[in-house]
Amino acid sequence: MNNKVKRRTGWVVFYIFVVIYVLLLLLPFIWQFLTSVKPLNEIAEMPAKWIPSAFNIQFYINVFTKHPFARYMLNSLIVALSATLLSIAVGATAAYALSRLHFKGRKVLLMTILGVSMFPTIATLSPLYLILKNMKLLNTYQGLILTYISFSLPMAIWLMSNFFSQLDKGYEEAAAIDGCSYMQTFFRIMLPLIRPATFSVGLLVFINCWNEYLYALTFMSQESMRTVPVGIALFPSNYQLPWGDMAAASIVCTVPLILLVLIFQKNIVAGLTTGGMKG
């Protein structure tokens, strides 16, 4: 077997493993989708059937007619988008300062920021609840946005500071020679340079906020203020577990995230490779 045949065989084996890996990753989503379009009598059928005998959209109708799911989607969108925009806006300025200013305790501060982002949600639940209660921010968008910023901002600062630190300082020196101030250099030169990375960080923050459950369950007790994860979790009643409705709702709330990734995939890939463009 010559080298050319060996290389072709290696690529074939590689692609086979890639296809198997992708199918394993997609398997839960595929099963959830098939469950959402099965007739009701086939959902609990044993042995389980992969392909439904008929295409059923009643569960998708139930999601929006039996539950205020459109309201849940709107609540999640408002909170997740607001928290993402604020985290990116504040995180970019803080990250730029931390990446360029060298002061005593800088590394300790960065490690503290990283440590804060790793705090388990349950550890901060009680103090945040008391704070929001005293500030009369329970069951409000503002209260949930502030709590989401508490875990999304540290992540944004940490990631964006790494991107800024990988940019060549020659950009800033050239801007200073042209008479740019620090703020002009930041907004006109440095921030556009990490725009793809900003999209990547923003998407990660948005997904984390969109999928967050415990804060939303605790701080939003009114049905009209529930977010998507909480709404789906409360679909079951005392006497019924609506697997079909829950499967359809999970597909509906996952589709926007998939569309975001598809729309901004070029920016995401460019953001992931920003570090290799130094110099």
The burial class, CB within 10 Å (0-12 / 13-18 / 19+), for 131 is middle
Q: What is the pLDDT of residues 233-243, one digit of tens each?
A: 888 876 778 88
* Range with the largest mean pLDDT of 145-154, 156-165, 231-240, 253-262: 145-154
Q: Are 228 and 72 in contact (CB under 8 A)?
A: yes
Residue 249 has phi, psi (to 5 degrees) of -65, -40
Tell me the C-alpha to C-alpha distance, in Å, between residue 223 and each of 116, 120, 232, 252, 266: 31, 26, 12, 19, 38
pLDDT, residue 277, reads: 46
Q: Is the pLDDT of residue 21 over 50?
A: yes
Task: Tell me the per-residue pLDDT of 30-73, one tens digit each, with 9 for 90 and over.
Answer: 888 888 888 888 777 777 777 887 888 899 999 999 889 999 99
CATH superfamily, domain at 65-277: MetI-like (1.10.3720.10)
How does pLDDT run across 97-115, given as a tens digit for each residue?
A: 888 877 787 788 888 887 8
- The answer to whether residue 278 scores a pLDDT higher than 50 is no
Whether the per-residue pLDDT at 273 is higher than 60: the answer is no
Distance between CA atoms of residues 183 and 193, nearest Å: 15
Tell me the per-residue pLDDT of 125-140, one tens digit each, with 9 for 90 and over.
889 999 999 999 999 9
